[in-house]
Amino acid sequence: MTTFTIVTPSYNQSKYIAQTMESVLSQEGDFAIEYFVMDAGSADGSVELISTYARRVTSGDFPRRCASVSMAWTSEPDQGQSEAINKGLR
């Protein structure tokens, strides 16, 4: 089965992060999604939103439309989007 690894870098994106996560997690098809959200230490409520989505995915409360979905996240300072993406792909 094909697995898609998706990394979303984020910093103080509370206005947009929920829509982004919904879009990624709602993909439909015969494939798996491995999803990482790399937050750079947001202070605008982003971390709480990310945590809520991760908890919903882990508990099975988020409707799954593909073969499988896993989600992990972290919130720590980084040197920008490139570093966040590289961390997510490790």
Show pLDDT as tens, one digit a residue, over the chain (90 residues): 999 999 999 999 999 999 999 999 999 999 999 999 999 999 999 999 999 999 999 999 999 999 999 999 999 999 988 999 988 888
Q: What is the pTM of this model?
A: 0.94
Report how many domains make up the chain.
1
CATH number for the domain harbouring residue 47: 3.90.550.10
Q: Which residue has the tokens 């790399």?
A: 38
Determine the pLDDT at residue 90. Answer: 83
Give the span between the Cα atoms of 85 and 70, in whole angstroms.
Answer: 17
pLDDT at 36: 98
Instruction: For the beta carbon of residue 61, count every other beta carbon within 10 angstroms.
Output: 10
Domain residue limits at 16: 3-89
